[in-house]
Amino acid sequence: MTTRAGFVALIGEPNAGKSTLLNQMVGAKVSIVTHKVQTTRARIRGVAIEGEAQIVFVDTPGLFKPRRRLDRAMVAAAWGGAADADVVVLLVEAHRGLTEGVERILATLAEAGAGRQVALAINKIDRVPAEQLLGLTKALNERFEFVQTFMISAEKGHGVEALRQWLAAQMPPGPWLYPEDQIADLPMRMIAAEMTREKLTLRLHQELPYQLTVETEGWEERKDGSARIDQVVYVSRDGHKGIVLGNRGETIKAVSKAAREELEAFLGRRIHLFVQVKVRPNWLDEAERYAQMGLEFKDGNT
């Protein structure tokens, strides 16, 4: 049998379920999943095997109207992921339907998607009645010529297998791009940082999660098989540092404990995690921080 391998870009509005779908496809948690929008920042690659096909999923940042430099870099990364893919899957939330944001994505796809296979996945189908789904499917397919439409619930796994099998058949013939046992194209340092950032995002409220970043500064392998990981949470203001630390350091302790436990489960060994919080007023405007997130740093308003 001929092996196949290729790239699939998952695009959609923030919170459409791209990260949840990626984790379902791969069978492990490789992308940050929270109830807050715009949590995925970089293009995260998860690797799935279906028969003789290797599918490299690119979980792109949500597509939205950018306001800040970080927003612009995230949107550019999302469209860059779509441009590089063999197949694009647009996720649309069933209960939200044809929003202004979806309309903007469809308009851009119509301009840039010539000759590219674009499939539609209507997600969270358990939230709406069947007749509403049929109406939404018709409306979306009238606006764009999708090669295939799938009804899925990424969270519950409904329809995910059919989508994965179809995608596997679309992959071009060729050797696999990654070793069979590799599930993500991300350095472990970044996966560890993303796990801590997820715990912070879940615990903190309002805008603060978007004003911080986490970097893994040190990774020391120990003789007993465990590892020491040193991380820094960068925030923009002194007031933010106090919130992240919490009363008597309770917040950062709880975040560190939750991140450490998830890392230990993911790596299957003991982890010693040390997290510091530092104020860096202009981190949102530093090229180095963007490079750490795998994003392109753009000058000014470009």
Q: What is the pLDDT of residue 164?
A: 94
176 part of a folded domain: no
- Please name the residues in contact with 54: beta carbons below 8 A apart, sequence gap of 6 or more: 3, 4, 5, 47, 48, 171, 176, 177, 178
CATH code of residue 280: 3.30.300.20
Q: Per-residue pLDDT averaged across 243-250, rounded?
A: 90
158 confidence band (pLDDT: 50, 70, 90): very high
Q: What is the pLDDT of residue 41?
A: 44
Comparing 173 with 268, the larger pLDDT belongs to: 173
Segments forming the whole domain that contains residue 117: 4-170
Say whether both 209 and 130 belong to one domain: no
| Amino acid (1-letter code) at residue 119 | A
CATH code of residue 139: 3.40.50.300
**Structure tokens of 108?**
């851009």
Q: What is the pLDDT of residue 289?
A: 60
301 part of a folded domain: no
Closest Cα to residue 41, out of 217, 300, 238, 284?
A: 284
Comparing 254 with 210, the larger pLDDT belongs to: 254
Comparing 10 with 53, the larger pLDDT belongs to: 53
Q: How many residues does the chain have?
A: 302
Q: What is the pLDDT of residue 35?
A: 43
Instruction: Show which of 141, 170, 199 is a domain's final residue.
Output: 170
pLDDT of 32 above 60 = no
pLDDT of 163 above 90 = yes
Q: What is the pLDDT of residue 298?
A: 62
Q: What is the pLDDT of residue 153?
A: 94
175 part of a folded domain: no
Q: Per-residue pLDDT averaged across 135-145, rounded?
A: 93
Say whether both 210 and 238 belong to one domain: yes
29 by Cβ neighbours in 10 Å (0-12 / 13-18 / 19+) ranks as buried
Q: What is the pLDDT of residue 252?
A: 93
Instruction: Show which of 119, 144, 170 is a domain's final residue.
Output: 170
Q: Please state, rounded to an integer, the average pLDDT across all residues of the chain.
A: 80
C-beta separation of 222 from 228 below 8 A: yes
129 confidence band (pLDDT: 50, 70, 90): very high
pLDDT of 283 above 80 = no
pTM of the predicted structure, to 2 decimals: 0.61
Q: Per-residue pLDDT averaged across 108-115, rounded?
A: 68
Q: Per-residue pLDDT averaged across 291-297, rounded?
A: 60
- For 94-104, what is each residue's pLDDT tens digit? 999 999 889 98
The span from the CA of 302 to the CA of 138, in Å, is: 37
Strand 271-279's sheet: what is its strand order? 212-221, 227-235, 271-279
pLDDT of 209 above 90 = no
Say whether both 206 and 128 belong to one domain: no
Q: What is the pLDDT of residue 28?
A: 59
- Structural domain count, the chain: 2
The span from the CA of 262 to the CA of 119, in Å, is: 33
C-beta separation of 60 from 10 below 8 A: yes
Say whether both 18 and 166 belong to one domain: yes
pLDDT of 67 above 70 = no
Q: For 206-271, give the secondary structure using H, E and C.
A: CCHHHHEEEEEEEEEECCCCCEEEEEEEEECCHHHHHHHHCHHHHHHHHHHHHHHHHHHHHHCCCE
Instruction: Please report, rounded to a whole number, the percentage of residues in the chain having pLDDT higher than 90.
Output: 32
8 part of a folded domain: yes
Say whether both 157 and 53 belong to one domain: yes
257 confidence band (pLDDT: 50, 70, 90): very high
Q: What is the pLDDT of residue 275?
A: 95
Say whether both 149 and 17 belong to one domain: yes
pLDDT of 79 above 60 = no
- For 188-204, what is each residue's pLDDT tens digit? 777 788 889 888 888 88
pLDDT of 282 above 90 = no
Q: 31-35, 212-216, 233-237: which has the minimum mean pLDDT?
A: 31-35
